[in-house]
Amino acid sequence: MNLGARPQIVATEEAIRRNVRRTPVVTLAGEEVGVPGVGVTLKLELLQHSGSFKVRGAFANLTLRRVSPAGVVAASGGNHGVAVAFAARRLGLAAKIFVPRIASPAKIDRIRSDGADLVVGGESYAEALAASEAWSKESEALPVHAFDQEETILGQGTLGLELEAQAPDLDTVLVGVGGAGLLSGVASWYGHRLRLVGVEPEGAPTPHPRAGGRTAGGRPGGKHRRRQPRPSPRRRAELPHPPGHRGGGDAGERRGHPRGLAEALGAAPGGCRARRRGRLLRAPLRQGANPARRAGRRRGERREHHRGRLRTLSEENPDARGNSR
229 is a domain residue: no
Task: Please tell me the distance from the alpha carbon of residue 136 to that of residue 119, in angstroms, as a whole number.
Answer: 14
35 is a domain residue: yes
Task: Please tell me the distance from the alpha carbon of residue 56 to that of residue 246, in angstroms, as a whole number.
Answer: 45
Regarding whether 17 and 35 lie in a shared domain, the answer is yes
**Mean pLDDT of successive 10-residue stretches along the chain, which has 325 residues:** 81 97 95 89 96 97 96 96 98 97 95 96 94 96 96 97 96 92 95 92 65 42 40 39 37 32 32 35 39 55 60 56 45
Distance in angstroms between the alpha carbons of the first and the last residue of the chain: 73
210 is a domain residue: no
The pLDDT assigned to 316 comes to 57
Regarding whether 139 and 90 lie in a shared domain, the answer is yes
Regarding whether 197 and 66 lie in a shared domain, the answer is no
What DSSP assignment string belongs to 2-26?
Answer: -TT-HHHHHHHHHHHGGGS----EE
Task: Please tell me the distance from the alpha carbon of residue 147 to that of residue 257, in angstroms, as a whole number.
Answer: 34
304 is a domain residue: no
The pLDDT assigned to 297 comes to 58
230 is a domain residue: no
Domain range holding 132? Answer: 55-143
Give Cα separations from 73 to 120, 195, 215, 270 (angstroms).
Answer: 13, 35, 20, 47
Closest CA to 80 of 66, 61, 65: 61
CB-based burial, 54-90: b 16+ in 10 Å, e otherwise: bbbbbbbbbbbeebeebbbbbbbbbbbbbbbbbbbeb
The pLDDT assigned to 228 comes to 42
Task: Please tell me the distance from the alpha carbon of residue 167 to that of residue 162, in angstroms, as a whole number.
Answer: 9
95: which strand partners? Answer: 72
324 is a domain residue: no
CATH number at residue 30: 3.40.50.1100
**Domain count of the fold of the chain:** 2
The pLDDT assigned to 234 comes to 40
The pLDDT assigned to 178 comes to 87
